[in-house]
Chain A
Amino acid sequence: MAEGITPAELSKQLGRTFPEVQAVFDDLAASAIARLPEDGVRAWLEGGKFLGSLGRGAEPMLVFFEESPEVAAILGVEAIDLLQKTAYAISRTPNGRAMVPFLQTAAVAARRLESMEMFEAYLKLVLHVMQESTTSVHGIVATHPSPCFEDFLKSVPTLLANLSLAGLSNWVEFGLRGYANDPEGQANYFALQAPEAHQVMARERHGTLLVDRERALGLYLRAMWRQDMRLAPFMRWFDEIRSRKPFFDKGTAHLPDVLDDMVCASGRVAGMDIYRAMLAHLAAHRRWTRPMIADNYSPFQRVAIEVFEDARVDLLACREWPGLRGLYLALHPRPEEEAAPADACDVHHRLAMFSRAVLDPDHGYRDAVLLEFVARFHELFDKAGDSQAFARLAVEWYVKSRKPSDISTTLFLDDTDVPFRDDNRLMWIFIEPDEEDEQAASSSELEHEQPALPPIHYDEWDARAGHYRPDWVCLYEHLHPSGDASGIDALLAKHGPLLKRLQRLIDMLKPQNKVRIRFQEEGSELDLDVAIRSLVDYRAGSQPDMRINMSHRTDGRSIAVSLLLDLSVSLNEKPAGAERTILELSREAVSLLGWAVQQTGDPLAIGGFHSNSRHEVRYYHLKGWSEDWNDAVKARIAAMQGAYSTRMGAAMRHAGRALASQQAEKKLLLVLTDGRPHDVDVKDEQYLIRDAHKAVQELDAEGIYTFCINLDPQADEYVSDIFGSHYTVIDHVERLPEKLPELFLRLTK
């Protein structure tokens, strides 16, 4: 392009420089001259010279010389200047070393983003990551290099291959916010080592997500194949040379977590249809494949047997559901005859052709061996041959079609991947006794170590980012330990007069609403409206309606209540001017409430929670839905203890989940707490408050009425942010025991 300039001329202008650069400069210059116009070449030289003068060695200069022509070729000459300026901005921080990965990935980013505007936005994002993740002293002077910036730059190619720039930006924000106080976690996240990194990426990326369609796929299996499999996602698009295939293991079908629509010769195949094809193939294997002992065959024989068996079950599936053939053929590659180089091992390619030919009558292949075996295959198929018979045919095929090049180490794999087929682990039995013993031993050890119930994961709402953090909180369920039940009875006895007053209130609550049942032939009263209408009919000569009476029934009361107790450490405090701790008062209040609810006959569950970081939220069952107000329950309440922190959102979601499954017209979640949501791993006070608020909204959407009883004198600052107007603050904590049941009765009147 810039013909007027020679490499020698440029070399002179560059002057004295690093020997590493000197050695390759002529080649680099020639390539730049070939790709850039004259002003571009000048900018290229100036930029390189400048980066060389920053005192960070030869590498930035060298990488710049190598990569920037390509960026400029895609985006225009101005990009060179921009690239140099950004690199300079990076070099002025403690992250100077990141200049090199930045320049190395610039060309990839340019290729993905394609426009100057997008590229500028990308550079801004890069600088944003650097600034946000670099530690600074007093917010002014940046001192330590960012823990994650270099990792981030190295992940950029993978990220951009899967995400749009907007998606990338969300992904980055999540990493910066979610790990603000956890440099190690942040580094893992940006290096794509943390599972969250993949989860967020899966959420931001395009395509059909398995988790979204799990139910539909389950229905598909059940309807068309009468099979039940659990579905589990795996990630496969991340730094893998050959993509992982679906597989079936221990009752679970493992499928890719996300699938893009596929464009093929006959049109577009939706991601959902690819999932269906995968499941159809697995289901067909399960129905028709009999496992074989793998040790009897050589590796290539095994490959051949697998392809024959795949083709056989696919053909059987097509016989069952003829419309599947169209889907299979759209997804199955169409390998070209004689595409493989002569010296490469093309067994896979030959087999792919074979499997195509079996499924597709219009395959158009001419190879004699292939045609012979396709004919024999169909013949055997019509005779309903089983897995073993086809394995023999496959071995025979391999013997017949063997070529000298099969021993070559270069594998020819173009057009051999059939995307809907699994890895065929379910058709082999491996006889390796030693390993089995070991596995058996280790699995039994594991079982001993596992404690009671597996954790339940809940999302948490990040209000600043405006999205959920997926599976962020681990919640463990426990049955609360028991204490001495008689203590509770003594407490109740102490409150004799209060109980009498409550009893009166409860009696008034007993169902008494009358509902009219009209149009009764026999009933307790005459329904005048209908009677008059009937009389008119009668006078007019038409047939009167005889159902002129009405009767009544009393309307039932249908309220399910879940009481959620905050069991955090602050419970052990004594409020100012009180003689007893909040814990003791709560215990009394809960006892009275339990008694009162028992009297009304409403179903009641009592749970308590505390948390020790997001990895451990403990939820204690004090009273289950089906339990009576008996000694076992009282014993658990007597043993209540305060410890750890208050992560309210997850506990509310958990209590709400059980409440939602109750059959009742009205559902009430009472939250008794003595302080603001708080946890050891969260610095931002607002974060947990907003999350709890989100949880309240979620419950509201499920028809659950949430109400908070707060004992914190400073509650006004935050409680309405969480519960709206559904709260009451009890100022005299001493009066909690009588207030709580009264409040309940008032709420449910």
Chain B
Amino acid sequence: MDNIREQYLVKKKPFYQPQHDEVELYEAAYAARLPVMIKGPTGCGKSRFIEYMAWKLGKPLISVACNEDMTASDLVGRYLLDAEGTRWLDGPLTMAARIGAICYLDEIVEARQDTTVVIHPLTDHRRSLPLDKKGELVEAHPDFQLVISYNPGYQSLMKDLKQSTKQRFAAFEFDYPDPDVETEIVANETGVDRDVAARLVKIGIAARNLKGHGLDEGISTRLLVYAATLIRQGISPRAACRMALVRPITDDADIRDTLDHAIDAAFEA
């Protein structure tokens, strides 16, 4: 048991730049073991925050990236067949409940709605997980906490959480950091100088202004970090930005031209 727990601990301190008081709020929520939901656009630091908190609290972290083919047994566990017969294998959620980990379900709306209801008993006063196929009721470890994240940005009618799921969580709303903080993040994460980082952030903000006008999502902090990484390697800023910031996010020629122009305006030749 202990070596499993060991394996999921976050060993190295992840870099995380607090934006407001989210660290204290999370600590308070964890102290009460409240399930937490994190909303925010893609690449704004949701996963990084959880990783950082797990490190800070010294708890193991089990992350699951959800997808639409995922079934309840992918979370809970299933019987496997082997030479002697059948053998039960815990899914990540069960494992987290047993060892007292923070279980992080990333992009939960991607999973089918019938899948998401299995988390319900773990998120209220019961704090237990029935394994009906195995006939076992797993009592959650006192350290166990459930965290989910989702991105309201590309919300479609089909992809939304049920009210009954939503109302089991305390929620954080993340957004892209303020320009100064974001500059700090890009500079710290990659080592480019502050001026370059500030210009990258400016391009990012320009793209975010286009959200809903042909872009589903603006340029994320993650992409800015990519661009800065390329610049660190000696690529010219204009080429790096085109490659890391513009080409990935759009196929629309007008938007591409506009963002290319923004790059030229931010980095004079």
Q: Which residue of A lies closest to B82 (CB)?
A: A541
Is the Cβ of A326 less than 8 Å from the Cβ of B268? yes
Scoring B residues 64 to 99 as 1 if CB is less than 8 Å from chain A, else 0, what string do you get? Answer: 000001010100001011000000000000000000
Q: Identify which of residues 103-162 in chain B touch chain A, using a CB-to-CB cut-off of 8 Å.
A: none
> Which B residues are in CB contact (< 8 Å) with A321?
202, 262, 265-266
Interface residue ranges of A294-349 to B (CB < 8 Å): 321-327
Quick check: A224 and B213 within 8 Å, CB to CB?
A: no
Residues of chain A within 8 A (CB-CB) of B202 are 321
Which segment, of B11-19, B182-190, B203-211, faces chain A? B203-211
Closest to A321 in B: B265
Contact A521 B81 (CB under 8 A): no
- What is the CB-to-nearest-CB distance from A274 to chain B, in angstroms, rounded to a whole number? 12
> Which residue of chain B lies nearest to A280 when distances are taken between CB atoms in the complex?
B265
Known A-B contacts A216-B254, A521-B71, A544-B81; the reply to A223 vs B259 at CB < 8 A is: yes
- Give Cα A324 to B262, complex, Å: 9
| Interface residue? A726 (CB, 8 A) | no
A219 at the interface (CB under 8 A from B): yes
Is B173 part of the contact surface with A, judged by Cβ < 8 Å?
A: no
Residues of A within 8 A of B259 (CB): 223
Task: Across the interface, name the chain B residue whose C-beta is closest to A547.
Answer: B71
Digitize B197-225: 1 where CB-to-A-CB distance is under 8 Å, 0 elsewhere. Answer: 00000100011011001100000000000
Q: Which residues of B have CB within 8 Å of A544?
A: 81
User: How distant is the Cα of A533 from the Cα of B6 in the complex, in angstroms?
Assistant: 37
Tell me whether B267 is interfacial, beta carbon within 8 Å: yes
- B81 and A546 within 8 A (CB): no
Known: A323-B268, A323-B269. A543 touches B80 (CB 8 A): yes
**In the complex, what residues of A have CB within 8 A of residue B207's CB?**
223
Take A226-B209, A538-B81 as given contacts and tell me if A219 and B265 are in contact as well, using a CB distance cutoff of 8 Å: no
Contact of B210 among A223, A276, A322 (CB under 8 A): A223
**Complex alpha-carbon distance, A224 and B213, angstroms:** 13
Q: Are A519 and B255 in contact (CB under 8 A)?
A: no
Bound-state Cα–Cα, A224 to B265, Å? 9
Q: Does A215 contact B (CB under 8 A)?
A: yes
- B257 within 8 A of partner (CB): yes
A81-133 residues at the B interface, CB under 8 angstroms: none
CA A488 to CA B204, docked complex, whole Å: 60
- Complex Cα distance A272/B254, Å? 11
B175 beta carbon closer than 8 Å to chain A: no
Asked if B268 contacts A219 (CB within 8 A), the reply is no
Q: Are B80 and A322 in contact (CB under 8 A)?
A: no
Decide: B254 and A324 in contact? CB cutoff 8 A.
no
Contact A546 B258, beta carbon cutoff 8 Å: no
**CB–CB A219/B78 < 8 A:** no
The CA-CA distance from A144 to B73 in the complex, in Å, is 92
Q: In the bound complex, do residue B206 and residue A224 qualify as a contact, i.e. CB atoms below 8 Å apart?
A: yes
Q: How far apart are B162's CB and chain A's nearest CB, in angstroms?
A: 20
Asked whether A219 lies within 8 Å of B213 as measured between CB atoms, the reply is yes
Q: How far is the CA of A216 from the CA of B264 in the complex (A)?
A: 16
**Does any Cβ of B come within 8 Å of A744's Cβ?**
no
Residues of chain A at interface, number, CB under 8 A: 26
Q: Is the CB–CB distance between A219 and B266 below 8 Å?
A: no
221-269 of chain B: CB within 8 A of chain A: 254-255, 257-259, 261-262, 264-269
Closest to A325 in B: B268
How far does the Cβ of A224 sit from chain B's closest Cβ, in whole Å?
5
Distance in angstroms between the alpha carbons of A662 and B262 in the assembled complex:
35
Count A-B pairs with CB separation below 8 Å: 61
Distance between A113 CB and nearest chain B CB, rounded to angstroms: 35
Q: Which residue of B lies closest to A327 (CB)?
A: B265
Interface residues in A533-584 by Cβ distance below 8 A to B read 538, 543-544, 546-547
Q: In residues 196-252 of chain A, which contact B (Cβ within 8 Å)? A: 215-216, 218-220, 222-224, 226
User: Chain A: interface secondary structure?
Assistant: helix
- Shortest Cβ distance from residue A523 to the other chain B in the assembled complex, whole angstroms: 12
Nearest chain A CB to B198 CB, angstrom units:
11
Assess whether B254 is in contact with A215, with CB atoms less than 8 Å apart.
yes
Residue of chain B at shortest CB distance from A227? B209
- Chain A residues contacting B254 (CB-CB under 8 Å) are 215-216, 219
Q: Which residues of B contact A273 (CB under 8 A)?
A: 261
Complex partner residue of B262 from A218, A224, A326, A521, CB under 8 angstroms: A224
Once A322-B268, A519-B69, A521-B73 are accepted as A-B contacts, the answer to whether A222 and B81 lie under 8 Å apart by CB is no
**B213 with A222: CB separation less than 8 A:** yes
B210 touches A222 (CB 8 A): yes
A322 near B73 (CB under 8 angstroms)?
Answer: no
Bound together, the chains give a CA A477 to CA B266 distance in angstroms of 47
Q: Which of B69, B81, B261 contacts A220 (CB 8 A)?
A: B261
Q: Is the CB of A216 within 8 A of B257?
A: yes
Closest to B254 in A: A216
Q: Is the CB of B265 within 8 A of A323?
A: yes
Q: Which of B78, B254, B269 has the most CB of A within 10 A?
A: B254
Query: Which residues of chain B come closer than 8 Å to A322, judged between CB atoms?
Result: 265-268
For B213, list chain A residues within 8 Å (CB).
218-219, 222
Complex CA distance for A519 and B262, rounded to whole angstroms? 47
Q: A219 contacts B258, CB within 8 Å?
A: yes
A57 to B266, CA, bound (A): 68
Give Cα distance in the complex from A226 to B209, angstroms. Answer: 6
Residues of B within 8 A of A326 (CB): 268-269
CA A519 to CA B265, docked complex, whole Å: 51
Chain B nearest CB from A541 CB (Å) reads 8
CA distance A544 to B82 in the complex (A): 11
Asked if residues B206 and A223 are in contact (CB atoms below 8 Å), the reply is yes
Separation of A521 and B114 alpha carbons in the complex (Å)? 12
- Whether A220 touches B268, Cβ cut-off 8 Å, given contacts A226-B209, A521-B73, A547-B71, is no
Contacts of B258 in A (CB 8 A): 216, 219-220, 223-224
B70 to nearest A CB, angstroms?
11
CB of B215, distance to nearest CB on chain A (Å): 9
Cα distance, A276 to B209, chains bound together (Å): 17
CB-CB nearest in chain B for A537: B81
Residue in B closest to A220 when the chains form the complex, CB atoms: B258
Bound state CA distance, A326 and B80, in angstroms?
67
A266 to chain B, nearest CB (A): 11
Provide the residues of chain A in CB contact with B267, threshold 8 Å. Answer: 322-323
Interfacial chain A residues near B262, Cβ < 8 Å: 223-224, 321
Pick from A222, A543, A544 the residue with the most CB of B within 10 Å.
Answer: A222
Q: How far is the CB of A556 from chain B (nearest CB, A)?
A: 14
Contact status B257-A323, CB under 8 Å: no
**A219: which of B71, B81, B255 is its contact (CB, 8 Å)?**
B255
B-chain residues with CB within 8 Å of residue A223 when the two chains form the complex: 206-207, 209-210, 258-259, 262
Interface centre among B206, B261, B269 (most CB of A within 10 A): B261
Tell which of B78, B258, B264 has the most Cβ of chain A within 10 Å: B258
**In the complex, A521→B258 CA distance in Å?**
47
- What is the CA–CA distance of A223 and B252 in the complex, to the nearest angstrom? 14
Q: Is the CB–CB distance between B209 and A323 below 8 Å?
A: no
Instruction: Check if B78 sits within 8 Å of A546, measured CB to CB.
Output: yes
Give the Cβ gap from A77 to chain B, nearest Cβ, in Å: 51
Chain A residues, Cβ within 8 Å of B206: 223-224
**Distance (Å) between the CB of B267 and the closest chain A CB?**
6
Assembled-state Cα–Cα distance A223/B210 (Å): 6
Nearest 6 A-B pairs (CB), nearest first? A321-B265, A323-B265, A216-B254, A223-B206, A323-B268, A219-B258
What are 13 A-to-B residue pairs whose CB atoms are below 8 Å?
A: A216-B257, A218-B213, A219-B255, A219-B258, A220-B258, A220-B261, A222-B209, A222-B213, A223-B209, A224-B206, A224-B209, A323-B269, A326-B268
Chain A interface residues (CB < 8 Å from chain B): 215-216, 218-220, 222-224, 226, 272-273, 276, 321-327, 519, 521, 538, 543-544, 546-547
Apart from A216-B254, A222-B209, A321-B266: 11 A-B pairs, beta carbons within 8 A: A215-B254, A219-B213, A222-B210, A223-B206, A223-B259, A224-B206, A272-B257, A321-B202, A322-B268, A324-B265, A326-B269
